[in-house]
Structure 1
């Protein structure tokens, strides 16, 4: 068991490695970071697939690589995040949203087959090595965090506090919204929505949107 460096009163964050029947005291968000299914339950276990999460109030978890984060609603989260030294992504520039980011931590390395995890037809199957990096983000209620389409890694988001969305667009204009994946505490957007092309990853225009004050976990898988 390892406490992540960005763990705080906003979200206590642990990583579990190669655990068998680890006892959970909840409520906590459990995220499967590995390429194999984890198992969660109480007496009767069920699968927790790669890139998925759930909220547990008790029971046990078994898995190769798991993140476990406290599930709480913290008043004054923005001020606490600033006091903790979270970076303002846009630098507080006028006209830009409030988007605060914790320090990032490299959790470890996993073997993933992009053809499987990206559900991408026609991609040559084969496992590749990925470095797993994680950090937390905060935005206040009503924030559009910025439409973009550039990442050189596979990314998924897990909601920790508040109600948010992952949204897709056909251009960098809000009026071109075509898909809205809603996130409540404990949800992860279901499938990474990038394609692998010639050693990098291609995304549609997309953004995170916060309906309420939100904290979410960003997981990045970088080709090693």
Structure 2
């Protein structure tokens, strides 16, 4: 059993990783992201692997592994929040050095790593953001990544080619929402990018594993994409 506070998004939000707990009471508005291939129940609602919901006033049962984000709705002055984030987090280009990020007003939090999962948040400071279509992720092999909207509104775009004119699928993201996984059974990605509808903050969850480590439930989920 484990209830662990994560530091990557402090002091702006509170993140808690909960593993192997029989009961856990949620009394405040929280974004729940399921990190287990076993669905978790919120009353009659089943929340699947890599799916997120806003929950409140509920006792969760038989938790395998979830992350909760609190405080996403505790910032009535978003302009002040964004200015404070820019003073605290680093520019993503300075950290990652990817050419597509050069000159983009895009800040990232520190990362927390637990086992094969990395947690981080990003502030997208321009509309449109134009962060750049990409297929690969620097520093990772067999990455299983999704994004969860925390503040503001965005969208995840998928394209046939490295050209936004070839856009074929777009997921709209409001606070608490995650897009479905884009990777296939071999861990390959289409051309994709996060784009802003408003300035905002989103969370990136990076789970690294070989395709052979995927459970049957995760393979079944991929087959539905």
Deviation of 1:19 after TM superposition, in Å, equals: 1.9
1:96 aligns with 103
2:38 aligns with 36
CA distance in 2, matches of 1:12, 1:141: 25
CA distance in 2, matches of 1:64, 1:80: 34
Deviation of 1:46 after TM superposition, in Å, equals: 3.0
2:208 aligns with 222
**Which is richer in strand?**
1
Q: How does the TM-score come out when normalised to structure 2?
A: 0.79
Residues 1:76 and 2:66 aligned together: no
Change in 2 beyond 3 A, CA 1:36/1:95: closer
Residues 1:195 and 2:165 aligned together: no
CA distance in 1, matches of 2:45, 2:172: 24
Unaligned runs of 5+ in 1: 109-130
CA distance in 2, matches of 1:61, 1:75: 34
Deviation of 1:172 after TM superposition, in Å, equals: 1.8
- Which of structure 1's runs of 4+ aligned residues deviate more than 4 A? 92-95
**Which is richer in helix?**
2
CA distance in 1, matches of 2:11, 2:150: 13
Provide the secondary structure at the position in 2 that maps to 1:194: coil
Deviation of 1:79 after TM superposition, in Å, equals: 2.3
Contact 1:78 1:138 in 2 (8 A): yes
2:160 aligns with 170
Change in 2 beyond 3 A, CA 1:105/1:95: closer
Provide the secondary structure at the position in 1 that maps to 2:120: strand
Deviation of 1:141 after TM superposition, in Å, equals: 4.2
Deviation of 1:184 after TM superposition, in Å, equals: 0.5
| Structural RMSD (CA) | 2.1
CA distance in 2, matches of 1:15, 1:209: 27
Deviation of 1:209 after TM superposition, in Å, equals: 0.6
